[in-house]
Structure 1
Amino acid sequence: MVVDPGVPPEDAQLLRESRQVLIKMRHGWVPEPQRAASGLRPRLHAAVGAVMSLGVVAGAGLLGRGLLMLAVILLGIPLLVMLFVRDDPPGDEMEFEREVYEQLRWYEGRYVLTDDLDESAARLLARARQAVATVSGSRVNADGLLDDVRNAVMLPAQEWEIARLLAKLSALRGKHRETVSHGLTPEVEAVAAPLARALDNSEDAVLARVEALERYAANVTDAERAYLAHHQIEELRGRVHQYEELVAETGADGFALPELERLAQDADRLDQALRRSLSSAHEAFRHLEP
């Protein structure tokens, strides 16, 4: 499920966990009305009546003290059980589903269930979500080499907008296919053909959004490789003096020194490659902005 990033985080998490309830709702399920106190009031009335009856009998002197105590015990224990032991099963699951049901109704239109998308739309959404995950999970983003603050806002907004548009496209395309599946007269064909092209053009527009995200993710992936290699080279450079000591002690200077010099050159090239990759990623990011 994709949720509008404007939904509060706690509610959004609840919505993401509500797939099964939403599917039940799509099949007509509605939670049962909440029962009032599980029949406590009738049982309370019965208990009060029994106590009053016992009091009348005792007041009339119809029972001796021993019999009165026995009657209190025999009546008291069942009354306590009747009052405080519930006869309905625990309702935790029912309460949770009722809460989810209310949230799903409240936020209707602000979430997209991927099961509702047709095959083409589902593929596009999967591509978009993969691109977003690539950027969000990258080390260059976590370490602040990208604009991580803007990414945290822009990427969820892009993912939601793509999901929202694909949901509308998928629903309308399904209705269109159902209508034209019954056969078309030439007159209806003349009307249906431009509408079908409108659906195709809309999908192309969403595809362009997805491809822009993928280009950004590809640039971030290049920067990620360069960043990792840059760190590896820096670690090796930090130990150069240890290598130099070793080769000096072993008399292997003539063999090792050219390799160490190339290490420094590689570090410079990787640093330049990292800068170019980050610049390309920033440029691709600007194309995502409205």
Structure 2
Amino acid sequence: MQRVVIDPEVPADVASLFRKNGPLLYRFRTGRIPKPQDGARVPGALLGALGASSLLALGLTVVTGMPMRFLAPLICLYIAILAIVYLVRKPSPADSVERVLYWHSMQWQGRYLILEDFDYSARSLLGRVQQAIDFILRSRINTLGMLDSVRNSVMLPAEEWEIARLLTKLSALRARHGNLARGGRTPEVAAAMAPLERALAASEAAVVARVEALERYARHVADAERALVSQNQIDALRAHLPEYEQLVAETGAARFFAPEIGHLSEDADLLRRALRDSVLSAHEAFRYLDG
């Protein structure tokens, strides 16, 4: 399942909050506003402001003789403004997760993308992007620093954001294009839309190429991972090699098994070269991805 995609400029704690609450972000998009303090009563400051406005209205009625019915709309407007200000105020530590999330979602609007921003085709591509990135960042050769782990941690999230941003644009344009074409097209309209359809197809192909570049990088990382695991296993076997050599020597079986045991060192050397080549290939793929 795809996660929320976030602009790398968004602070890490806010980004983590967004990723954990994708469904809530969608509900905010559809107009839901969280209740103050999880449904608690309106805070004293707001009640005080409402009381002050009521006293002010009463005073104006007495001084000016203006009927209350003329002041009522102004009071309602003032109350509504106060309520909106309260709802969008900066959250305090005592606020609910929902209110904190709502405030951040307003503050960082346009800097995060949820699943509903993508059409079916775009979601599939986004899933491939996130799968490749997750594998690279969690790989052992990355955590061991055999890749450029620092650049990976910066560049790969930026690439995820850029691809996701392009996919949302593609999704929106495809939806609009489909709506325009609904209900049939005359030859004239079809001719006018043909260049736009080619532009959409070319743009999608360019995004797919970026996705495939990420996947190639992930495959090279996977090759290096397998070589590393195999090398570690062979090295563990070599550590016990003297015990095997002693055993075959004592049993008089050296003439039968010495050549086979000797191949262990050759296998280890081959795996070391394979690991080195795999890491070099991953670095090459990274440079290609980096443009």
Residue 203 of structure 2 corresponds to 202
1:228 — aligned with what?
A: 229
| Aligned counterpart in structure 2 of residue 12 of structure 1, from 9, 15, 30 | 15
Identity value in percent: 51
Aligned with residue 34 of structure 2, among 31, 35, 44? 31
Task: Give TM-score, length-normalised by structure 2.
Answer: 0.77
Q: CA deviation at 1:144?
A: 1.0
Q: Distance in 2 between matches of 1:278 and 1:215?
A: 13
The one-letter code sitting in structure 2 at the alignment partner of 1:160 is: W
Partner of 1:124: 125
Aligned counterparts of 2:159 and 2:228: Cα–Cα separation in 1: 26
Partner of 2:58: none
Which residue number in structure 2 is paired with residue 239 of structure 1?
240
1:267 aligned residue: 268
Q: 1:89 maps to which residue? A: none
Q: Distance in 1 between matches of 2:165 and 2:48?
A: 49
> Equivalences for 1:1-290 in 2 at 5 Å?
1-32=4-35, 35-37=42-44, 95-290=96-291
Structure 1 residue ranges (4+ consecutive) displaced by more than 4 angstroms after TM superposition: 38-42
CA gap 1:115/1:255 in 2 versus in 1, 3 angstroms: farther
How far residue 41 of structure 1 moved from its aligned partner, in angstroms, is 6.2
Amino acid in the other structure paired with 1:120? S
Aligned to 1:55: none
Which amino acid is 1:287 matched to?
Answer: Y
What is the CA deviation profile of residues 1-24 of structure 1, one whole-angstrom value per residue up to 9, with x for unaligned ones? 111111110111111123222222
The Cα of 1:259 is off from its aligned counterpart by: 1.2
Structure 2 counterpart of 1:7, one-letter code: V
Give, in angstroms, the shift of residue 108 of structure 1.
1.4
Q: Structure 1 218/178 Cα, relative in aligned 2: closer, same or farther at 3 Å?
A: same
Q: What is the SS of the residue equivalent to 1:130? A: helix
- Of stretches 245-254 and 223-232 in structure 1, the one that deviates more from structure 2 is 245-254
Tell me the number of residue pairs that the alignment of Structure 1 and Structure 2 aligns. 243
Q: Given the two structures, how large is their TM-score scaled by the length of structure 1?
A: 0.78
One-letter identity of the residue aligned with 2:102: Y
Give the drift of 1:31: 3.4
Asked whether the equivalents of residues 133 and 214 of structure 2 are also in contact (C-alpha less than 8 Å), the reply is yes
8 A contact 2:7–2:158 mirrored in 1:
yes
C-alpha separation in 1, matches of 2:26 and 2:109: 14
Query: CA 1:243–1:6 in 2, change beyond 3 Å: closer, same or farther?
Result: same
1:36 alignment partner AA: P
How much is the aligned-residue C-alpha RMSD, in angstroms? 2.4
Distance 1:183 1:288 in 2: 42
SS of residue matched to 2:33: coil
- 5+ residue gaps, structure 1, are 43-91
Structure-2 change in CA distance of 1:33 and 1:138 (3 Å): closer
Query: How much does 1:188 deviate?
Result: 2.0
Report the Cα distance in structure 1 between the residues aligned to 2:232 and 2:177, rounded to whole angstroms: 54
Which has the higher Rg, Structure 1 or Structure 2? 1
Cα separation, 1, equivalents of 2:9 and 2:46? 42
Q: Which residue of 2 aligns with 1:66?
A: none
